[in-house]
Structure 1
Amino acid sequence: MRRLLAFAAALAGLIAGPAAAKETADLIVRDATLIDVAGGGTVPHRSIAVKGDTIVAVGAPAEIDRTYTAARSIDARGRFVMPGLWDMHVHFGGGHELIGENKALLPVYVAYGITAVRDCAADISDSVLLWRDQVAKGELLGPTIFTSGPKLEGYKPIWKGTIEVGTPAEVDAALDRLQNEMRVDFVKITDNTLKPEIFLYAVKTAKARGLKTSAHIPYALTIQQAADAGLGSIEHLDYLIKAGSRDEAAISADYAAGKISYGDASAKLVDGFDPALARAAYRRFAAQGLYVTPTLNMSRILAYLDRDDHSHDEALALIGPGLRKTYDWRIERAAKATPEEVARRHAKYELTASLMPLVAEAGLPILAGTDAGYLNSFNYPGQGLHDELARYVEAGLTPAQALRSAVITGPAFLGKSARYGALAPGEAADILVLDANPLADIAATRAIRTVVLHGKTYDRAALDRLLTDAKAAAAR
């Protein structure tokens, strides 16, 4: 009988063949609850296999263990995994003497789970372009960088590091430089001194070249005119007050004719705001493919500088002295405001925040962005995105809507959805392991246990070292 059993076992082995060899991965994240950001739900007991900087498999723990072997693993039982966060509006700048202080902030973004940033122009674009390439090659620790390079502006602007344009030919030459020499990821256009007709020409021409655009919209134009020209994203939510104002067209015409100041125009637009008009306008913009980057927390900080004391903010320790000095400009401007102007500032912020549910209901895609960087007082790189998401929920969005704005819409805007925005085979291995569920409480995005960036693992101790090193650099 024993021989018969042995023969049967041997025969079964011959029929089954040798055991299949396991595939080699570099990392396995084991047995986590997966946050389905697109669907707004969770999938329990999922493991993720990573090879190089790419996810190669997602499945049940037993399935992944049966198929893959890896030298490194993360035990994520009882924890939550989601794609890395994107900050779609940051600034590196303040002059060439502050290049080092700006560069020191790159690991800070990583420590806060920010795995990609969209640089919206400043005055050290050559350095940012270099960092973009170094990060992509694995030569520099930092989030993936998408940048506009220097922005387009009119003649003699207040902002430094711009390309000044005033004719169609100058716009064409500027776009040649940005697209062909700098290989920018999108084009930033602002409204400080740029003529309205040149603004529209720049937007239309960039779109015709296949370039995404991001802008501050001149008050002499309606938002609809910018959308009709093919604008990609509006930077700062308060511009959308214009589109919901009963008197937008008349105020824009008066501003263009020099009959009204910016401050008075802004006040009239707030006074004339109509939610019904806004809803209709936002639906039109959504149909036209327009996005909006609210930078809501920045608006909140500036609106309430009169009463909020930031002198003891812990994150100040991460900011170098040169960058901290650039904060003074906005602080001093806010301090000069009259009581009436302060009240207007508060009212405008509250109205701006109330637009968030209207924008979401209209289907207008929201790009989570902070405006963090030089000049923008007390809006801290890294931490600022978590503050931004908290403002969205405070204003009426669900945590799921807030998460989508920081995970899905950024890649969609830049045409990178095939690579970013989900935890699936073929997607980038940019992964956050969290201690709590951000769909239940958006504050859970701060409870970061591990960051996987470009396939490399940074546990909590490593992330804390990045912050400690940044504080030491800032102190020096």
Structure 2
Amino acid sequence: MNTHPFLSIALATTLPLASNAIAGEHVDLLVRDATVVDVVAGSLQPHRSIAVRDGRIVAVVDAKQARAYDATDVLDAKGKFAIPGLWDMHVHFGGGDALIEENRNLLPLYLAHGITAVRDAAGDLSPSVFAWRDAVARGELSGPRIFTSGPKIEGYKSIWPGDLEIGSIAELNAALDQLQGWKVDFVKITDNTLSPELFLAAVKEADRRGLKTSAHVPYALTLDEVSAAGLDSIEHLDYAFKAGSPLEKSLGEKIAKGEITSHDAWTQWNATFDPALARAVYTRLAQHGTAITPTINGSRVVTYLDQDDHHDDPYLKYIGPGLQATYTWRVERAAKDDAQAIAKRHERFEKSATVLPMLQQAGVTILAGTDAGFLNSYNYPGIGLHQELGWLVHYGLTPQQALQAATINGARFLGHQDEYGTLEAGKVADVVLLDANPLRDIGATRKIHAVVQHGQIHDRADLDAMLADVASRVARQREAAAKAGP
């Protein structure tokens, strides 16, 4: 029996203690004497041991029952806190074929930060993402489990790369056929050039086929309309704000017709915002099962570029030169704003963030996602989720609610709650080990001592080695780019 006293495991569970352990029952791993963080109940369960076999949890037991197990590896988790593996429910891989390797380098960044699953919300590297998804599932590639939409559905001449562009019901059905053929995990729909009519048709047809949907909401449609049509998740918090104004529909239609800018419309939505109206709409979202992914971190970075340009971020050593170059377009757009426009974007961001606790209180499922990846400036894969959790708490959630948004909520949304999201018998052994209690301070999620993915142990040395390897790869890519010239 091998003992690793240097390794500590933090696990969250809703499982009652096992009472039928057989003396000498063999397991691959026994995490001994952890304080389990129950993210569902918001409680601590001290002095618990977690038995793991074949990548799955066999039981969560007390100290006396733990003696009944004969384990190949024993991890002394005394003084450590255990939570389920984290899920980032909004990431992107993209930037063109030239950046395939730079995107692949992002996978270890997620795992090194305790993120054992990600939801890829579309880009222009779908063939590579499908291959990575399958390779991770087979254990052939190190990284988080990938749930992907494949290319998203849009209208003709979309500004976004890699879309499936449609202009008719026949083309919509063909696109959905193609996505189902690729076995996508959900369908992403956006509103750049897609008509409101085709948007609703896409949501309804995907729902009829049993497919989850995720979307940007067209201005010409209300949140009530898209939720009633069956939309499963709204991406980005600012879409929720306009639902609190009685002018949501009329101003949205004017934006769609080009009669008013979204910035001018927001000023009127803000002036007429009615908390009671917003709560009523949010309650209906909850009743229809429409979740929301706030992606606060990415929005906040761009909003406050005037205060922090992020040029000296230490984390840039993990981001390839090609991916960094994709940050430029948002940075340049923000740089064009004068003092008045900067103040206005600050106000818009902060006011929009005030609806977060209202959504939670109304029963809307909150999904923790970063929007990290290509195009999204200084919004980093890995550390970005921990920053997102910090902002979720800053803007009104409790640490427990933030943890739920990054664990059980994601698993439930994608229909995998039977295997992920909590730590109990029969579920996949995805575990993040923390040095401090995240229910007291959400910043504790950054204090990672070790990660267990599907029963495989990554101690702190392993995680640091992953980070060092990515930094080394990026350094070589930067050197090659410099030699190649402009």
**TM-score scaled by length of structure 2:** 0.92
CA drift at 1:134: 0.3
| Residues 1:92 and 2:93 are matched in the alignment | yes
* 2:136 counterpart residue number: 135
Residue aligning to 2:285: 285
Q: How far 1:297 moved relative to its partner?
A: 1.0
Which residue number corresponds to residue 26 of structure 1?
28
Distance (Å, rounded) in 2 between the aligned partners of 1:431 and 1:304: 34
Amino acid at match of 2:447: A
CA distance in 2, matches of 1:350, 1:203: 30
Any unmatched runs of 5+ in structure 2? Answer: 1-20, 477-486
- Superposed CA offset, 1:193-233 (max 9, x none): 00010000000000000000000011111111111110000
Query: Which residue of structure 1 aligns with residue 3 of structure 2?
Result: none
CA contact (8 A) 1:372 1:384 kept: yes
What is the letter of the counterpart of residue 84 of structure 2? P
Contact 1:35 1:81 in 2 (8 A): yes
Deviation at 1:21, TM superposition (A): 5.2
Q: Which amino acid aligns with 1:74?
A: L
For residues 231-286 of structure 1, what are the alpha-carbon distances to aligned partners after superposition, in whole Å with 9 as ceiling and x for unaligned? 00000010001111121121123223332223322332233222221111111110
Distance in 1 between residues matched to 2:96 and 2:74, nearest whole Å: 43
Query: 2:197 maps to which residue?
Result: 197
Match of 2:396 in 1: 396
Q: Secondary structure at the match of 2:289?
A: coil
User: Counterparts of 1:36-435 in structure 2 under 5 Å?
Assistant: 36-66=38-68, 68-179=69-180, 181-435=181-435
The answer for the alignment partner of 1:16 in structure 2 is none
State the distance in 1 between where 2:393 and 2:140 align.
37
Residues in 2 aligned to 1:184 and 1:86: alpha-carbon distance in whole angstroms: 18
Render the CA deviation track for 1:264-321: whole Å, top value 9, x for unaligned: 2233223322222111111111011000000011111111111113112111111011
TM-score (norm 1): 0.94
Shifted more, 262-271 versus 417-426: the winner is: 262-271
Q: Deviations over 1:345-385 (max 9, x none)?
A: 10111012211111111110000000000111111100000
> What SS does the corresponding residue of 1:420 show, helix, strand or coil?
coil
Task: Indicate if the aligned counterparts of 2:223 and 2:281 stay in contact, CA closer than 8 A.
Answer: no
Tell me what 1:6 maps to.
Answer: none
Secondary structure, aligned partner of 2:354: helix
Instruction: Please identify, of 52-61 and 144-153, the stretch whose mean Cα deviation from structure 2 is larger.
Output: 52-61
How far off its partner does 1:20 sit? 6.3
Where 2:406 maps in the other structure, the secondary structure is helix
Amino acid at match of 1:224: D
Identity of aligned residues (%): 58
The answer as to whether partners of 1:32 and 1:46 remain within 8 angstroms in 2 is yes
In structure 1, distance between residues paired with 2:472 and 2:92: 22
Asked whether the equivalents of residues 186 and 212 of structure 1 are also in contact (C-alpha less than 8 Å), the reply is yes
Tell me which moved more, 272-281 or 313-322: 272-281
* CA–CA separation in structure 2 for the residues paired with 1:264 and 1:21: 70
Contact 1:57 1:64 in 2 (8 A): no
1:370 and 1:384 in contact (8 A); partners too? yes
Choose 1 or 2 for highest CA Rg: 1
- The letter for the 2-side match of 1:32 is A
Q: 1:245 is aligned with what amino acid?
A: S
Structure 2 CA distance, aligned partners of 1:287 and 1:47?
38
Aligned-pair Cα RMSD in Å: 1.2
Instruction: Report the Cα distance in structure 1 between the residues aligned to 2:150 and 2:126, rounded to whole angstroms.
Output: 5
CA distance, structure 2, for counterparts of residue 124 and residue 265 of structure 1:
35
Q: In 1, Cα distance between the equivalents of 2:286 and 2:121?
A: 22
Residues 42-86 of structure 1 show CA distances to partners (whole Å, capped at 9, x for unaligned) of: 1111000111211111111220221x2111121100111110000
Instruction: State the Cα deviation string for residues 372-411 of structure 1 (Å, max 9, x = none).
Output: 0011111110000000000011112110111010011101
Task: Quote the Cα distance in structure 1 between the aligned partners of 2:219 and 2:104.
Answer: 34
Between the aligned partners of 2:322 and 2:266, the Cα distance in structure 1 is 32
Q: Which amino acid aligns with 2:311?
A: S
Residue 319 to residue 20, structure 1, CA distance change in 2 (3 Å): closer
How many residues end up aligned between the 2 structures?
Answer: 456
Whole-Å Cα distance in 1 between the matches of residues 217 and 49 of structure 2?
45
CA distance in 2, matches of 1:253, 1:374: 31
Structure 2 distance, partners of 1:160, 1:302, is 21
Runs of 5+ in structure 1 lacking a partner?
1-18
Q: Which moved more, 1:258-267 or 1:395-404?
A: 258-267
Greater mean alpha carbon deviation, residues 365-374 or residues 262-271:
262-271
- Partner amino acid, structure 1, of 2:146: I
SS in 2 for 1:158: coil
